[in-house]
Chains A and B, each alone.
Chain A
């Protein structure tokens, strides 16, 4: 996956988890929780969907790596490079 594809994949997951949110103006370098109504259960949903859709495991200690779209790309790129 390219970096843009990873961002798109994460946003697709968020669109399901937070269906009331307008995702068209999400900034890549700003924490997702500062832009969107997301709580800890939602982040667990993101982790679950990454597992289901892409077979990616995110250990609890790494949850902070999913804070923004940019940090998602940095963290997920090696895990998704062959996807």
Chain B
């Protein structure tokens, strides 16, 4: 048995997703098949489809803080404070210099920059109307830094830019900093504010990768024959991570143990995924976890509903999990769209309650399964009850060819 000082566990979860602002609400929506995708007005483009969060920013922030900061920062604060409360750590008396904040982001600064350009366009592009808030809002550490300002945390903080593999990357960074003894508590996960800039929608539209559907709830359809692209979403998910000995000493609830992870690079294309590298990433994470593929009960897939991307991930999954009769696959983006930097962290969170309830949430919107996306034990249409869930593997990947995998064990 590994030294408990070298084992990293999850002891708190805070999240906001388009279909839930707590883990309980999010999980309930997943089990009931509730989407969070709605029509959304965006500058220059009019109505698009997006996953929009409904958390109350004023639960943990003053109005002035909301005004001065960013949406990503506000989401990060909400999730971090919720996670800390959930962990039941005595945060008031805890040494704040031993807390670190590590948040994955897909991008940052586009929202604020676009807003400022629009603002000066109202003044004939005179740059003296450009806000002095622009720089503090657009520095890359902004969302994590806003958490430290709000919570009085004096340990390290930074963001991890990792495209859509970022949620897992934030979790991995937090775990690594605990293993290095740099901190005693890590607030780790991912956030995204991307829907608040038209650019992300316009770029996906130009790429032919922006989802459309008359019914917003049916627009995000990974693995379906008629899928036509990504639904962009905002969201956040932050975990309280700590070493097992620390968690046990204070009698903390434990959601699961992070027993394996890996990040690698495709080194092949700016946008197209590479199944071979994805296979390597999953296999390396399993090796680090000391597991074989047959040990995994649930694989939370990354599939975003792009025609090519879903197929490449399924090629990788069929290769790694060939003949794994008890391994099930599902997809959270079919409910909430693609929450970008938050996606990996949210998708993991939605699957962790399976350890307790033995239910594997399903994948919605697969009316006609694409034969190229067929997987044995792909959970469709309704949740599936199994005898037990002990291991969850969470897949993410992103542009520029980055893959991230996290493996969590029931404790």
| Secondary structure call for the B interface | helix
Task: Check if B64 sits within 8 Å of A48, measured CB to CB.
Answer: no
Residues in B neighbouring A20, C-beta threshold 8 A: 62-64
Q: Which 3 A-B pairs have the closest CB atoms?
A: A19-B63, A44-B132, A20-B62
Task: Check if B129 sits within 8 Å of A19, measured CB to CB.
Answer: no
Residues in B neighbouring A51, C-beta threshold 8 A: 128-129
A41 to B64 Cα, complex, angstroms:
12
Task: Check if B132 sits within 8 Å of A41, measured CB to CB.
Answer: yes
Residues in A neighbouring B129, C-beta threshold 8 A: 48, 51-52
Residues in A neighbouring B67, C-beta threshold 8 A: 17, 19
Interface residues of A (CB under 8 A from B): 17-20, 37, 41, 44-45, 48, 51-52
Given contacts A19-B63, A51-B128, 18 further A-B contacts (CB under 8 A): A17-B64, A17-B67, A19-B64, A19-B67, A20-B62, A20-B63, A20-B64, A37-B64, A41-B68, A41-B133, A44-B132, A45-B132, A48-B129, A48-B131, A48-B132, A51-B129, A52-B123, A52-B129
- With an 8 Å Cβ cutoff, the count of chain B residues facing the other chain is 11
B49-74 CB contacts (< 8 Å) to partner A: 62-64, 67-68
CB of A46 to closest CB in B, whole Å: 11
A48 to B132 Cα, complex, angstroms:
9
CB of B120 to closest CB in A, whole Å: 10
CB-CB nearest in chain A for B123: A52
Residues in A neighbouring B62, C-beta threshold 8 A: 20
Residues in B neighbouring A48, C-beta threshold 8 A: 129, 131-132
CB-CB nearest in chain B for A40: B132
CB-CB nearest in chain A for B68: A41
Residues in B neighbouring A52, C-beta threshold 8 A: 123, 129
Residues in A neighbouring B68, C-beta threshold 8 A: 41
Task: Check if A18 sits within 8 Å of B132, measured CB to CB.
Answer: no
A20 to B67 Cα, complex, angstroms:
11
A52 to B131 Cα, complex, angstroms:
11
CB-CB nearest in chain A for B128: A51
A41 to B68 Cα, complex, angstroms:
9
A37 to B65 Cα, complex, angstroms:
12
CB of A3 to closest CB in B, whole Å: 27
